[in-house]
Amino acid sequence: MVFDITILGSSSATPTSKRNPSAQLLDIQGNLFLIDCGEGTQIKLRQLGKRFQKINHIFISHLHGDHFFGLFGLLSTMHLLGRKTPLHLYAYQELKPLLDQLLQLSYTELKYPLCFHEIPEGESSVLYSDKNVEVAAFPVKHSVPCSGFCFREKEKPLNVKKNIVELYDLDPVQIKLLKEGRNIVVEGEELKSKEVTYRSFKPRSYAYCTDTIYDEGLLPYIKGVDCLYHEATFLKDLAAAAKDKFHATAKEAALIAQKANVKQLILGHFSARYKDCSPFEIEAKEVFEEVVIAEDGQTYSIRKL
């Protein structure tokens, strides 16, 4: 029942010797989701021993090369390794015809169904939903159309406390009723669902916001999430440059985290000019305490509560 975020790339537009362009692997209760797919993503997945054929959903935030140039290689490798399972790709629609052409040019006729889902520009929408998780896209402000993503676990079903089941020797019908939130009478005694049931854990949530300028408009979409990944391309001394390029600083990312009342902030998408990224953490901590610096290959877990 994990909720793990593995950083595959935390550099901004140009990779460095230690940081790849943007990509992240989410493992939510054993379902693997890929967010963005910068160049080198498949190689990093291999190096980390991740079973990337188990990825069934890929979300591309926007069409700057550092967020999708690794897609062609990954799709091609999945094909070469014999994938048959459908793969769902969520991106702006302009990507689709080009992807088709590129696969054709490289003589690749995918052996698995590639299901393309268009992300609507400039509005929020639910992209995916199953019994465990819902994935929503929402607009963020960048120099080109760009989406943030929010992954929210669904509320777990009610369980009846084990000692209650034993004490009252409950049968399956009685258990079912209590799980549905209904009260029942057993041997003249009322058992209140509220009192005898529990949920295995509280739903967890994760939001991904890159690339974006400082924008309070995204607060409603990320309010109270357990973990927020927010870009911090620059430090605050370059706030003007950040604004100019529609990027954010570490301080601005921290302000968003604070205002959105999130539990944990991960900073990433660092400009290649910074050899040492520890000043990002120091700068952000002046505003928001629970902050870490993304490191390629690192996994951040959201624990069950």
What residues act catalytically?
66
Interaction of residue 63 with a second copy, rule CB under 8 A = yes
Using rule CB under 8 A, residue 299 touches a second copy: no
State both tokens at 193: 């669902």
Name the residue nearer to a second copy (CB basis): 108 or 258: 108
State the Cα–Cα distance between residues 205 and 33, nearest whole angstrom.
14
**In the numeric block, which tokens belong to residue 144?**
């080109």
**Least distance from C-beta 98 to a second copy, angstroms?**
5
Using DSSP's 3-state secondary structure scheme, residue 250 falls into helix
Nearest to 56 by CA among 153, 128, 149: 128
Strands 184-186 and 158-160: unpaired
E-only strand ranges, 177-246: 184-186, 189-191, 197-199, 205-209, 227-231
Q: Pick from 94, 123, 244, 289 the residue near a second copy by CB under 8 A.
A: 94
Number of Cβ within 10 Å of residue 182's Cβ equals 12
- Is residue 16 involved in binding a second copy (CB under 8 A)? yes
Question: Is 294 a binder of a second copy (CB under 8 A)?
Answer: no
**Per-residue x/- track, 95-124, a second copy (CB under 8 A):** x--x--xx--xxxx----------------
> x/- contact string, 73-92, with a second copy (CB under 8 A)?
x--xx--xx-----------
Yes or no: say if 5 and 296 are a contact pair by the CB < 8 Å rule: no
Nearest to 193 by CA among 175, 207, 208: 175
Q: Of 116, 134, 112, nearest to 124 (Cα)?
A: 134
Bridge partners, residue 291, by sequence: 265
Q: How far is the CB of 195 from a second copy (least distance, A)?
A: 53
72 is a site residue for a second copy (CB under 8 A): yes
Query: 104-116 burial, b for 16+ CB within 10 Å, e for fewer?
Result: eeeeeeeeeebee
Q: Which of 28, 33, 34, 40 binds a second copy (CB under 8 A)?
A: 40
Q: Considering the rule CB under 8 A, would residue 296 count as an interface residue with a second copy?
A: no
Between 11 and 197, whose beta carbon lies closer to a second copy? 11
Q: Report the nearest approach of a second copy to the CB of residue 48 (Å).
A: 8
Q: Applying CB under 8 A, which part among 22-30, 37-45, 253-261, 278-286 lies near a second copy?
A: 37-45
Q: Which residues of the shown chain bind a second copy in the complex (CB under 8 A)?
A: 13-17, 20-21, 38-40, 42-43, 46-47, 49, 63-66, 68-70, 72-73, 76-77, 80-81, 94-95, 98, 101-102, 105-108, 143-144
